Amino acid sequence: MSLEFVSQSKVLLPQGSRELRVEGCIEAGEIVGLQGPSGCGKSTLLRHIAQVGDAPFAMRLHDTEVLALAPNERRISLVFQRALLFPHLSVRENLRFPMRFQSPYSSWSRELQDARIDKHLAELGLESLSSRSVVTLSGGEAMRIALVRAMVSTPKCLLLDEAFAALDKESKALVKTWLKTRIKEHRIPTLLVAHVAEDLMDFVDRSIFWPEPGRPLQF
């Protein structure tokens, strides 16, 4: 139960077109931190792993070729630098969004889905936000909802792109503890990109530094 890469792909970085070569493995339940200079392709890598980049990116997730899976079967959750909540939906509808597509949740009744959403919101003390419009949320609240959205359908792989940057110190500690508990409980391979070393502390199992764009990355 792990995430394995032996992949190389041509990607478009701010500096131009580059070869992205990645090799290695993230074990089930392992949290890997990735650091590197700005523009080296960290965010681009996450997009490719989530299969929402410019080109297909070959990898194996829990012994299955990801490219062979339909989008709703992949269950790779990516949390972007910005919360990217859907502005036409309420907080609850945003959280229901992945469950509409991903099995087994897509076959659940609306009540069961809502109960699951309520449970997740309560764990982070966010239950009062459930009926709010997302455009009324603060940056920190939006980011926490984005993290709940990523976890509500229990992903097979979790990718976090500077996901803690918008949080204050107190929220950050709470969210990190909650997230880590769930990652370990469900044995989710996780990759966290962070600029600040503090975001990696007390969270990751190991860290990798990617020194420059174009250089092969080994996990």
Partner 1 sequence: MESLRNSQSSLWIDRGLLIVVAACTVVPFLFFVVDALFGIEGSSLSSIFFKLLGRAFFFGVGQAFASAVFSVGLAFVVALGLLTLRDGARQKLATAVRGLGQSLFVLPGTAIALLVLSVSASLREIVGAWTLIIAAHALWSSLFIASHVFERLEAWLDAEGADLLRASQSLGASTMASLKCVVFPLLLIEVRTWFPLIFLWSFGAFSTVFLLGSGPQHSTPEVLLYYTLMNDLDSSRLLVLFVLNLTIGVALLRLFSNQDSSLSSGRLLLSVDSQSAVKHEALTLPMRALFTALSLILVLGAALLMLGQVYAILQGGLPDPSIWKGLSSSLSYAALVSALSLGLMLWTARASSHTRKALSYLLAVSPVLLAASWSHFAFMGASERPLLLSMLVCAAGLSLLQVPFAALWIERSLASMNSDLALYARSAGLSDSQIYWSLKLPYLRPVFEKVLIYVFCIALGEIALASIWLREAPPLALAAKRLTQSYDFQSAAWIFVLTFVAALLSRRFFRAVLRRVFV
How far apart (Å, rounded) are the C-alpha atoms in residues 112 and 105? 9
Write down the least CB distance from residue 186 to partner 1, Å: 16
Q: Between 72 and 177, whose beta carbon lies closer to partner 1?
A: 72
Residue span binding partner 1 (CB under 8 A) among the ranges 60-68, 70-78, 168-176, 180-188 = 70-78
Q: Which amino acid is at 11?
A: V
Quick check: 98 binds partner 1 (CB under 8 A)? Answer: yes
Residue span binding partner 1 (CB under 8 A) among the ranges 20-28, 59-67, 93-101, 178-186 = 93-101
Contact 99, 153 (CB under 8 A): yes
46-79 per-residue burial string, b: 16 or more CB within 10 A, e: under 16: bbbbbbebeeebebbbeeeebeeeeeeebbbbbb
Quick check: 77 binds partner 1 (CB under 8 A)? Answer: yes
Q: Between 101 and 108, whose beta carbon lies closer to partner 1?
A: 101
Residue span binding partner 1 (CB under 8 A) among the ranges 65-73, 168-176, 193-201, 211-219 = 65-73
Binding residues for partner 1 restricted to 16-55, rule: CB under 8 A: 47, 50-54
Quick check: 84 binds partner 1 (CB under 8 A)? Answer: yes
Quick check: 108 binds partner 1 (CB under 8 A)? Answer: no
How far apart (Å, rounded) are the C-alpha atoms in residues 9 and 58? 8
Binding residues for partner 1 restricted to 134-153, rule: CB under 8 A: 135-136, 149-150, 153
Q: What share of the chain is helix, strand, coil (3-state, %, to 5)?
A: 40, 25, 35
Contact 15, 39 (CB under 8 A): yes
Quick check: 190 binds partner 1 (CB under 8 A)? Answer: no
Quick check: 131 binds partner 1 (CB under 8 A)? Answer: no
Write the DSSP assignment of 53-108 as a string of letters.
SSS---EEETTEEGGGS-HHHH-EEEE-SS----TTSBHHHHHHHHHHHSTTGGGS
Q: Between 125 and 214, whose beta carbon lies closer to partner 1?
A: 214
Binds partner 1 (CB under 8 A): choice among 15, 128, 131, 133: 133
Q: Which amino acid is at 123?
A: E
Q: Between 133 and 181, whose beta carbon lies closer to partner 1?
A: 133
The DSSP bridge partners found for residue 22 are 7, 217
Distance between the two ends of the chain, CA-based, in angstroms?
A: 16
State the residues that interact with partner 1 by CB under 8 A: 12, 47, 50-54, 70-72, 74-78, 80, 82, 84, 86-88, 97-98, 100-102, 133, 135-136, 149-150, 153
